[in-house]
Amino acid sequence: MAVEFAEVGDNVFVLRYPVLDVNATLILGNGVALVVDTLATPAQAAELTAAARRLTRMPWALVNTHHHFDHTFGNAALAGDPPCDIWAHEETVSLLRAQPEAVRREAYEEALRLAPDLAGELAQAPILAPNRAVHLESTVDLAGRLVVLRYLGRGHTAGDLIVQVPDADVIVAGDLVEEGSPPSFGDAYPLEWPEAVAELLRLTTPQTVVVPGHGAPVGPNFVKGQHEELAALDWLIRDGHLDGASVAAVAAKAPFGPDAARVAVRRGYAELSGRTSSSGQ
């Protein structure tokens, strides 16, 4: 399929890939570029590369906003040989480096549910772990254009990273923000996610363009609305756990719909009970 980038800020382009409606972002510097998220398969990554090469011949580095397959399984196809710098939060680096087959297994199961045609490709896709780890903040210098990688806390996963382009007033939020479908809570920390989004909002101006992990670019007002829903879910989980309410009863009152909410409530209850659950996509 023909896919193209659209400019959302000064020399910042977003490719909205139709399968899973996932976004990849291209940031052009002064002779060096940055690609944020690499799609789900080598074939998708080849389409991403072709679209990017229609805009620039610059060498590039990569960023993964988190470990999920639709944001990382194209790494090997875009990184080259020897691989370029691939940045991610240290939790994402650790998971993709130490447990690639567990990540693949979760990806396969997720694809069977959401996009069955991808499952076979995911079983064969090479998994290339990032080689540059971010703890709290790192700056990538694109030959004079500075891009800031920030960790705002656990939310959609343990290792969500946002990418801020200050001179364009653009923030690539990964799956900390979702447009067009409910947030995914399979690996999430629903009691911490609201604060991560609150930190993101503190970085915005009224004009900031926020690129979500999936869906159309949005502004701060959309992000504020999602923060309010995440905060409401947080308190419903805390109150329900205190009252001994069932997962189903809390999910029925929660934002985002009962299917997404049930996963969030289970994970929140587990955290409040002192049980750690980090598997599932």
Q: How confident is the model over 126-139, as pLDDT tens digits?
A: 999 999 999 999 99
Q: pLDDT at position 274, please?
A: 86
- Domain 5-219: CATH superfamily, name plus number: Ribonuclease Z/Hydroxyacylglutathione hydrolase-like (3.60.15.10)
Peptide bond into 42 cis (omega under 30): no
Gyration radius of the chain over CA positions: 18
The residue among 31, 96, 248, 93 whose CA lies nearest residue 240 is 248
For residues 98 and 70, the answer to whether their CB atoms sit within 8 Å is no
Report the 10 Å Cβ neighbour count for 80. 11
**pLDDT for residue 1 is more than 90:** no
Q: Are 264 and 230 in contact (CB under 8 A)?
A: no
Distance between CA atoms of residues 171 and 154, nearest Å: 17
> What distance separates the 2 farthest-apart alpha carbons in the chain?
59
60 — pLDDT class (breaks 50, 70, 90): very high
pLDDT digits (tens, 9 = 90+) for 170-196: 999 999 999 999 999 999 999 999 999
| pLDDT (0 to 100) of residue 281 | 32
Task: Give mean pLDDT, residues 100-113.
Answer: 94
For residues 79-84, average pLDDT: 94
Question: What is the pLDDT confidence band of residue 277, given thresholds at 50, 70 and 90?
Answer: very low
In this prediction, residue 158 carries a pLDDT of: 98
Type of residue at 272: L
Q: Is the pLDDT of residue 168 over 70?
A: yes
What pLDDT is recorded for position 275? 67
Q: What is the mean pLDDT of residues 43-64?
A: 97
- Predicted local confidence at residue 279, as pLDDT: 37
Reported for 10-19, long-range contacts at CB under 8 A and 24+ positions apart, including other chains, are: 10/167, 10/168, 11/145, 11/168, 12/165, 12/168, 12/170, 12/209, 13/55, 14/211, 14/217, 15/48, 15/51, 15/52, 16/215, 16/216, 17/44, 17/47, 17/48, 19/44, 19/115, 19/118
Q: How does residue 278 score in pLDDT terms, banded at 50, 70 and 90?
A: very low
Q: Are 75 and 38 in contact (CB under 8 A)?
A: yes
CA 5 to chain centre: 18
**What is the predicted pLDDT for the residue at 2?**
75
Confidence grade of residue 8 (pLDDT, cut at 50, 70, 90) = very high
Q: Is residue 92 classed as helix, strand or coil in its secondary structure?
A: helix
**With 70 as the cut, is the pLDDT of residue 260 above it?**
yes
| pLDDT averaged over every residue in the chain | 95
- pLDDT > 80? residue 273: yes
What pLDDT sits at residue 79? 97
pLDDT of 243 strictly over 70: yes
Asked whether residue 280 carries a pLDDT value surpassing 50, the answer given is: no
